[in-house]
Amino acid sequence: MKLKNRRGSVLAFVLVIFMVFSIFAMSALHITMTNTKHVKLLRDSTQAYYYAYSGAEIAYAAIFKEEGSNKSIFDTYKNSSKKIGPETIDIDKKGTNDITVEVEFIPEKKLVIITSIGTYNGKSSTVKMSFNTDYPSIKMWE
């Protein structure tokens, strides 16, 4: 008589254990997927920042490079209000990852501002570098 009363209890116990494991598995899967998305977002944002930073450094080097007339862009425009750009550098053949750079000369403040926007997988990051025209080797970053 005792065996007949406990016949369905093993099935109920197995179903409860199965449900508990299912909840743990779904929770672990959700946490893993969320972390994976976060890592991808962080990777893309970091890469966009490094593209923007590189673009600012490239522009900084380019304005001091001597042109054909033995005069650099810096020497030519440091005393005049001038905007150069925006210029876009495509990183890949598809044109989805790029760097956009703009250089602005502000003679009344003795300031040059380089704005660089890096884009990677749809994420963008902006970096601004500025320097005083009297002390061009001291860079200020925003």
Instruction: Provide CB contacts within 8 A for 48, sequence distance 6+.
Output: 118, 119, 120, 123, 124, 125
**Residue pLDDT, tens place only, 25-68:** 999 999 999 999 999 999 999 999 999 999 999 889 888 887 76
CA distances from 72 to 35, 75, 114 (A): 48, 5, 16
| pTM tops 0.85 | no
Model pLDDT, residue 37: 95
**Alpha carbons 108 and 111: distance in angstroms, whole number:** 8
Pick the closest to residue 81 from 60, 56, 111 (CA basis).
111
Classify residue 81 by its DSSP letter.
-
What stretch of H or E contains 14? helix 9-64
pLDDT band at 1 (very low <50, low <70, confident <90, very high): very low
Rounded to a whole number, what is the largest CA-CA distance in the chain? Answer: 108
